[in-house]
Amino acid sequence: METTRHFVATIYVVNDGATLLHEHERLDMWLPPGGHVERDELPHEAALRECREETGLDPELVASRGGVVSGTARSLPEPQQFLLEDINVHEGGAVGHQHIDFVYYGRVADRTVEPTNEDEAPADAWEWFTPDELGARREELPDDVVEVGTEAIERVGRMR
């Protein structure tokens, strides 16, 4: 069986020691803002666009950028994590669909969630999680979301 892979971008948005998650209706799991990288955009642009569409928030990326600048190349904001995620696993362990996920961290000045697209989850579907809350709800949250969410909160907190 051939595995289909899509490029996606995710952003863990942080404000005052907490990160923003919602229970994704189709995937039935708690996730931060994110989605597929469109043909005409770069991964960090996709993460920021998805965040604006899904939450109405406009985060500032917390990302290093290499120093390469030439007539033909330039460095991009570096993702904090680069993950291969199994989305569709068949009986017997064959994987039919995977996401190659550029994961960024960002900070916002307030917690007002107002999705800009009517197809998105409503504002009250989003919750802010502290590291303690991530740990306490480990049974219902994916392990990677707990780990990366906690790291995002810590890293953004150190960069004040």
pLDDT digits (tens, 9 = 90+) for 8-34: 999 999 999 999 999 987 778 899 999
* pLDDT of residue 92 exceeding 80: no
Residue type at position 78: E
List the CATH number of the domain containing 36: 3.90.79.10
Among 157, 149, 151, residue whose Cα is nearest residue 29: 149
Calpha distance 77→94 (Å, rounded): 33
Its sign, for the CA torsion 60, 119, 86, 21, is positive
Calpha distance 34→32 (Å, rounded): 6
| pLDDT level of residue 152 (50, 70, 90 thresholds) | very high
- DSSP E strand stretches across the chain: 4-15, 18-24, 29-31, 34-36, 60-62, 81-89, 95-107, 126-129
Calpha distance 101→138 (Å, rounded): 21
pTM, to two decimals: 0.93
Number of domains in the chain: 1
pLDDT for the residue numbered 128 = 98
pLDDT digits (tens, 9 = 90+) for 103-144: 999 999 999 999 988 888 889 999 999 999 999 999 999 999
Residue with more model confidence, 148 or 159: 148
Range of the domain at 144: 4-158
